[in-house]
Amino acid sequence: MTDQALSIATTVNGSPLSTRVEPRWTLAELLRDHLRLTGTKVSCEMQVCGACTVLVDGDPVSSCTYLAADVHGRAVTTIEGLAGGQELHPIQQAFVEEFALQCGYCTPGFVMMAKALLDENPSPTTEEVVHHLEGNICRCTGYAPIVAAVLRAATLVRERADGWTPTSQRPPFPIRRPGTTSLRLDALAKVTGAATYAIDMAMPGMLYGKAARAERAHARIVGIETTAALTV
C-alpha cells in the first residue's frame, strides 16, 4: 500500500466491507485479486467484451475500468452473490436449462447483465434482450441460446413470484433438449462463478510471466542478458 491508498466502506454481496484501496485499482482488481471473488472475469480489460460486468447499486458496470475507490458507499453484487443459498437464481437456472454456455468465461458477465435487465424490465421482448446484451461478447456458444435463456429466466422469475417452488414441484433442471437427458457437468460451476480458469489460480510465491517483445523488427540475436532473471 502506498501513501495514496484510500479507505472505503462498501457492501459486497450483502456483506459490509471496509478496506483500503490504491487509487489506481480497478473494481475487478479489488474483487478478483484482493477479495478472491474470481467469478468476475476479465478479458479485454478495456470495456469492450462485458466479461467483467458486476452490479453497483443495481446498475451494470464494467469492473475492468471502474475504479475500486468509486464503490465507496455503494453496494456491489457479483455472480457469487446471485444464488440464494443452495438455490440458483432463475437466470442461472435458465442458462443451465437452455445450454447457454460452453467455455463459460463470458457467462458471469451475461448473467449479471441479464439481472440488470430483468430488474428493470421483467418481461422483455426478444429485441429488448438482444439490445441489452449487445455489449457482451461470447466467442463460443452463439447468441441464440443466451437470448433464449434470458427470456426463459423472465418466465422463471414470474413463476417464482407467483409462489412456484422449484425444488418441490418439478426438477430444478428440466433438460428439454431432444435426445439428451443429462446436465452439463460443468454448468453449475460456470453459472455461479465457481469455475476456475488458469488466470484465476493463485499460489503462495507465484511468479508472473510476461512476453518481452523484440524492439527491432529484423535483428540477429547474439546473446540474452539473463542476470536479472536468474536472481529471482
Q: Which residues bind ligand FES (CB under 6 A)?
A: 42-45, 47-52, 62, 64, 101-107, 138-141
Tell me how far, at minimum, the Cβ of 196 lies from ligand FES, in Å: 15
- Comparing CB distances to ligand FES, the nearer of 50 and 81 is 50
- Comparing CB distances to ligand FES, the nearer of 38 and 141 is 141
Tell me how far, at minimum, the Cβ of 136 lies from ligand FES, in Å: 9
- Comparing CB distances to ligand FES, the nearer of 25 and 105 is 105
Tell me how far, at minimum, the Cβ of 174 lies from ligand FES, in Å: 22
- Comparing CB distances to ligand FES, the nearer of 64 and 112 is 64
Q: What is the DSSP string of the chain?
A: --TT-EEEEEEETTEEEEEEE-TT-BHHHIIIIIS--TTS--SSSSSSS-TTEEEETTEEEETTTSBGGGGTTSEEE-GGGTSBTTBPPHHHHHHHHTT--SS-SSHHHHHHHHHHHHHH-SS--HHHHHHHTTT---SSS-HHHHHHHHHHHHHHHHHHHTT--HHHHS-SS---STT-----TTHHHHHHT----GGG---TT---------SSSS--------HHHHT-
Tell me how far, at minimum, the Cβ of 162 lies from ligand FES, in Å: 31
Tell me how far, at minimum, the Cβ of 100 lies from ligand FES, in Å: 8
- Comparing CB distances to ligand FES, the nearer of 83 and 101 is 101
